[in-house]
Chains A and B, each alone.
Chain A
């Protein structure tokens, strides 16, 4: 994404872009909720319905982590590093 076409904001000392944040949030939240709602099918397949809540939480955290990796790969950090 071209930096001039995006609105940049400073949050907690970091510069972030509006659209890139929205993109990262949609990716991570979608993956987390997709994994969350797929848990009942997975426990049925495994025949271990007692594990439903545990698997829901684990899978959704895994989904969010996958989202983090994908967002990291496709979004450019808004920092210019100068070495002395």
Chain B
């Protein structure tokens, strides 16, 4: 495919993904993995060009992460899991009448996070490429490939950092046994159905509660009431929205987080650095505005760095992002003759083509998302809240998961997905990070090997 055709296709795909995921990102409760991973996997399992899917994926994460903070700023309702730490900052801003200013700061900071992350992590990932071979050869006392030690170390680190430390540590071996047990039953190394089951586990758990007699706590008498704050005309100039200190902190912490996300949790980094910034300020309002902006920059950067460094440099999913939403790129798929989309991507395209297309898709998505959100955030939020029912969205992702599970392992795949989904949800609801479960899924054969 020549470069001009490629860029034209990328333009259309990115524009489509930005528009679609701005809407999905604004809908409360839309988990990033549950809404991005099944579609990415569907595209790749269908054999679409991995570079085009990567461009689509970059556009999606940029738009999704920028958009999920909009309902947070305007209505103090998080658009997604990653925006949850921003709610307290949004409430402080609302108390002082700064919601509109907060909105502009968040959207602008997410663009800064995107630009810094792509500028640092993409060249770095090619520079680090020689490390990939080192990680693939068996080494050390357990004779595991290098990457397995990394992913197990990452899992332990995430477990120790999570709210439910002991439960998270206890979850590792039983969950690895569940994965390997199902694979034994299916008779092949199924991945898709188990991976998707983890992603939709929390939604599945809540929906199954609806048909249980113990669902009184979820019953409501009336519709959800959403208060939208007033906003006026917003300037398009990004320099009007952030202070110099906010630009500096957003850039610095986004760059650092983009690299750290290779092994560390995006949510963890957003909470950690955001809280550090907030606590460094004596003034409550100043601290909250700054923390909100910094968290928005980190969200985009961790998603970009956490995808690109493992994808291009290491070739193995070493962190929660690459073992989670971006994992379809590392899966061995029948559509690519049993190879991974990642290997096909690197064989089919030169370094310069991959860099050009990735940079173009990411920056185009960032600029488009910025313009749309800055100009139409209020109208879009009103449209999404008034027109898009949550029922339709949950149903769509469940249907995609069901059909892919069926494609992976037949009827058994669907039942297996329900089982994995419910067990994952039980862990997640009790404070175990979903990233731990993704990483255990990837390392399951090695972990179970230790037990026998």
Interface set of A (CB-CB < 8 Å, partner B): 3, 7-18, 20-21, 23-25, 27-29, 31-33, 36, 51, 53-58, 60-61, 63-65, 67-68, 71-72, 75-84
B372-397 Cβ-contact flags toward A at 8 Å (1 or 0) = 00000000001001111111111110
Closest B-chain residue to A82, C-beta based? B227
Residue numbers in A under 8 Å from B218 (CB-CB): 9-11
**10 A-B pairs whose Cβ atoms sit less than 8 Å apart in the complex:** A21-B207, A23-B391, A28-B396, A29-B402, A29-B403, A31-B399, A36-B406, A60-B42, A67-B399, A79-B224
- Answer yes or no: B210 CB below 8 A from chain A CBs: yes
- In the assembled complex, the CB of B219 is this many whole angstroms from the nearest CB of chain A, namely 6
Taking CB atoms, residues of chain A closer than 8 Å to B228 are: 81-84
Beta-carbon contact of B398 and A72 below 8 Å? no
C-alpha spacing A25/B394, complex, angstroms: 8
Known A-B contacts A14-B28, A20-B389, A77-B386; the reply to A84 vs B45 at CB < 8 A is no
Task: Report how many A-B pairs have Cβ atoms within 8 Å.
Answer: 189
Q: How far is the CA of A79 from the CA of B206 in the complex (A)?
A: 19
User: In the complex, which range does the number of interface residues on chain B fall in?
Assistant: 35 or more
Smallest CB gap from B77: residue in A: A13
| Cβ–Cβ contact A76 & B389, under 8 A | yes
A8 near B220 with CB under 8 A, answer yes
User: B225 within 8 Å of A by Cβ?
Assistant: yes
Identify which of residues 229-283 in chain B touch chain A, using a CB-to-CB cut-off of 8 Å: 229-230
**Residues of chain A within 8 A of B398, CB atoms compared:** 25, 28-29
Q: Would you call B224 and A36 a contact (CB within 8 A)? A: no
Known contacts A16-B390, A24-B389; A67 and B395 CB within 8 A of each other: yes
The distance from the CB of B133 to the nearest CB of chain A, in whole angstroms, is 31
Measured between C-beta atoms, what is the minimum distance from B288 to chain A in Å?
19
Known: A53-B334, A64-B396, A67-B395. A14 touches B402 (CB 8 A): no
Instruction: State which of A36, A81, A82, A84 has its C-beta within 8 Å of the C-beta of B403.
Output: A36
Interface residues of B in 193-242 (CB under 8 A from A): 202-203, 206-207, 210, 215, 218-230
Complex CA distance for A83 and B222, rounded to whole angstroms: 18
A77 and B225 contact, Cβ closer than 8 Å, known pairs A18-B210, A25-B398, A32-B403: no
Q: Kindly list chain A residues whose C-beta atoms are within 8 Å of the C-beta of B210.
A: 9, 11, 18, 21
B160 adjacent to chain A (CB < 8 Å): no
Contact between chains at A65 and B29 (CB < 8 Å): no
Q: Which residues of chain B from 17 to 53 have any CB-CB distance to chain A below 8 Å in the complex?
A: 27-29, 39, 42-43, 45-47
Partner of B29, one of A13, A18, A27: A13
Knowing A14-B29, A57-B404 are in contact, say whether A78-B399 is a contact too (CB < 8 A). no
Indicate if the CB atoms of A11 and B224 lie closer than 8 Å: no
A36-B403, A57-B42, A61-B42 given as contacts; is B220 within 8 A of A68 (CB)?
Answer: no
**Docked-complex contact B227 and A84, CB < 8 angstroms:** yes
Which 5 residue pairs spanning A and B have beta carbons closest together? A12-B29, A71-B392, A24-B395, A14-B390, A28-B399
Query: Which residues of chain B are near A61, meaning CB under 8 Å?
Result: 39, 42-43, 46, 400, 403
